[in-house]
């Protein structure tokens, strides 16, 4: 029971366990002056939470900047129900950065009432308007579709292949095995759909 309670307090363990251990080790190895610097560090739960929030915001900012600078990107949506029985919408982004395809977690938001396609689209649209300038992205996407018919034909072929592979559980497993056999970095495909 005590272990379970300790597992529920990840922020406070820094002040009550980690800091005293660091303080003792530093005092033994480096002396009192260095130990005083460790003693001055704040590892309270509010400080740790604040630092986690800052790191999270910075990662989100970096991902959004990469998406904005990418010529194309895709999002993948996934729904899950948490331990409080609240539906959570998780959104992942895949984009081109420095000639490689990167995939990152973009955001998670609760679906507090219903989980219809309109609710999902509303959350994605609100996030995009706030962070990604949705109108500009749609405009860029539309102009790129119109500007290159050859590219559109190639993309159409790729979409057919992806949908063929993802249309069957067996094909998906075989594709995954093929990717592993050739040591590919990515081993799965996103299922292409125009609308949910």
If asked whether residues 23 and 92 sit together in one domain, one would say no
Q: Among positive and negative, which fits the CA dihedral 107, 111, 115, 118? A: negative
Q: Do 88 and 109 touch, CB atoms closer than 8 A?
A: yes
Higher-confidence position of 26 and 159: 26
Same domain? 119 vs 169: no
64 with 6, same domain: the answer is no
Q: With 0-12 CB in 10 A as exposed, 13-18 as middle and 19+ as buried, what is 134?
A: middle
Our separate counts of H helices and E strands in the chain read 9, 3
What share of the chain in percent tops pLDDT 70? Answer: 81
Q: Tens digits of per-residue pLDDT, 20-60?
A: 888 889 889 998 888 888 888 887 778 888 888 999 999 99
- Considering its fold, how many domains does the chain have in total? 3
Provide the residue range defining the domain that includes 11. Answer: 2-43
What does DSSP assign to residue 182? T
Are both 66 and 30 inside the same structural domain?
Answer: no
């Amino acid at each position: 029971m005590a272990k379970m309670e300790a597992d529920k307090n990840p922020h406070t363990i820094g002040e009550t366990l980690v800091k005293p251990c660091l303080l003792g080790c530093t005092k033994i190895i480096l002396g009192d002056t260095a130990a005083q610097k460790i003693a001055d560090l704040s590892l309270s739960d509010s400080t740790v939470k604040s630092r986690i929030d800052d790191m999270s915001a910075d990662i989100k900012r970096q991902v959004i900047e990469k998406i904005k600078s990418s010529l194309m990107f895709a999002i993948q949506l996934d729904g899950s129900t948490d331990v409080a029985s609240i539906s959570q919408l998780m959104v992942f982004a895949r984009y081109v950065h420095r000639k490689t395809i990167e995939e990152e977690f973009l955001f998670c938001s609760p679906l507090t009432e219903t989980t219809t396609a309109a609710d999902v689209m509303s959350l994605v649209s609100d996030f995009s308007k706030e962070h990604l300038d949705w109108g500009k992205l749609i405009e860029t996407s539309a102009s790129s579709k119109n500007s290159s018919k050859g590219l559109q034909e190639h993309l159409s072929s790729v979409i057919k292949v992806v949908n063929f592979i993802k249309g069957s559980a067996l094909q998906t497993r075989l594709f995954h095995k093929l990717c592993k056999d050739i040591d590919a970095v990515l081993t799965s495909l996103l299922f292409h759909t125009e609308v949910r």
